[in-house]
């Protein structure tokens, strides 16, 4: 599609407004997605942080569950943060719940601890990725990635554990890049939108 990218932000619940603001800081236009027709014409989509179990209920109520699944599998760029990452995982535990499976990862909800354990932490970026070698991440009752399958690449870690992954056009973070001004992960998503075949990562 010609012209400037238009990014959908799933806006049923959670920190969708912060995502819209974070993308505006890169000059990217957004549209809130609340029903299937809102998906038409989008260049990519953001699944924000919030409460993944509530999002699942609202997706069903809005008849958005299947159309969103189709969009997530369409090859257009997806940024999934925190609860969004949980929605994209292959398997969810603690407790188990359904998910789209577009990221070959297993996640435990709230696995990085409860609210009291939330905060900003230093991350290490795997060598050779188009990201600064160090960056920070805001973790809020964040999902812990328990396992990463072959098709999914780990881009960054916290204490040696995967917290930023990519599989094809789907970029997933356990943390909240949208809460930091012009975070490198938001920048990397914006690059994927403007050059759909750009690699955030180089293969090793």
- Interface residues toward ligand GLN, by CB under 6 A: 49-52, 82-83, 86, 109-110, 140-141
Task: With H, G, I as helix, E, B as strand and everything else as coil, classify residue 44.
Answer: strand
- Candidates 88, 152, 176, 183; catalytic one: 176
CB of 195 to ligand GLN, least distance (A): 28
- 165 vs 201, which CB is nearer to ligand GLN? 165
Peptide bond into 26 cis (omega under 30): no
Q: Is 82 a catalytic residue?
A: yes
Q: Is 183 a catalytic residue?
A: no
Q: Is 152 a catalytic residue?
A: no
d(CA 101, CA 15): 22
- 69 vs 111, which CB is nearer to ligand GLN? 111
Contacting residues for 198 by C-beta, under 8 A, at least 6 apart: 191, 192
- 5 vs 48, which CB is nearer to ligand GLN? 48
CB of 191 to ligand GLN, least distance (A): 24
CA distances from 120 to 160, 189, 204 (A): 16, 21, 29
- Candidates 19, 82, 152, 183; catalytic one: 82
Alpha-carbon dihedral angle through residues 64, 68, 69, 71, given to the nearest 10 degrees: 150
Q: Could you give the residue numbers annotated as active site?
A: 82, 176, 178
């Amino acid at each position: 599609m010609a012209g400037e990218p238009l990014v959908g932000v799933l806006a049923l619940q959670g920190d969708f407004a912060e995502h819209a603001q974070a993308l505006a800081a890169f000059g990217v236009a957004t549209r809130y997605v609340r029903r299937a027709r809102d998906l038409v014409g989008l260049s990519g989509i953001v699944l924000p942080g919030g409460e993944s179990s509530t999002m699942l209920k609202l997706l069903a109520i809005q008849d958005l569950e299947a159309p969103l699944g189709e969009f997530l599998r369409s090859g257009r760029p997806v940024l999934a943060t925190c609860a969004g990452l949980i929605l994209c995982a292959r398997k969810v535990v603690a407790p188990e719940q359904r998910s789209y499976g577009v990221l070959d990862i297993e996640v435990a909800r709230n696995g990085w601890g409860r609210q009291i354990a939330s905060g900003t932490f230093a991350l290490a970026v795997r060598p050779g990725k188009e990201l600064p070698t160090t960056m920070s991440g805001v973790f809020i009752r964040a999902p812990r990635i328990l396992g990463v399958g072959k098709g999914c690449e780990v881009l960054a870690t916290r204490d040696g554990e995967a917290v930023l992954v990519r599989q094809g056009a789907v970029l997933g973070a356990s943390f909240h890049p949208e809460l930091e001004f012009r975070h490198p992960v938001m920048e990397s998503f914006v690059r994927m939108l403007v050059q759909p075949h750009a690699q955030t990562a180089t293969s090793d």
